[in-house]
């Protein structure tokens, strides 16, 4: 019984590399970084109306 779980690269599924964890290589890490910087990955934001807003006095 081998209860060991091998971690895999989230992009290609290859075994992770200790130096580039959680990716298998610098190439997969760079691909992931490019996806974040180009806007392919987005963190969902829910904007609420009527929340606390700071009003500034403009004179």
pTM of the model: 0.63
Render pLDDT for 1-59 as a digit per residue (tens, 0 to 9).
567 778 999 999 999 999 999 999 999 999 999 999 999 988 888 988 765 556 666 65
> Is the torsion defined by CA of 22, 23, 25, 30 positive or negative?
negative
* Of 43, 41, 6, the residue nearest 21 (C-alpha): 6
Please report the pLDDT score of residue 6 as a whole number. Answer: 85
Residue 48 domain-assigned?
no
Distance CA 17, CA 27 (A): 12
Number of domains in the chain: 1
Parent domain of 32: 7-39
Residue 47 domain-assigned?
no
């Amino acid at each position: 019984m081998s209860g060991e779980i091998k971690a895999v690269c989230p992009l290609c599924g290859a075994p992770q590399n200790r130096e580039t964890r959680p990716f298998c290589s610098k190439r997969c890490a760079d691909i992931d970084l490019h996806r974040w910087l180009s806007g392919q990955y987005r963190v969902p934001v829910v904007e609420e109306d009527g929340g606390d807003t700071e009003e500034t006095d403009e004179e």
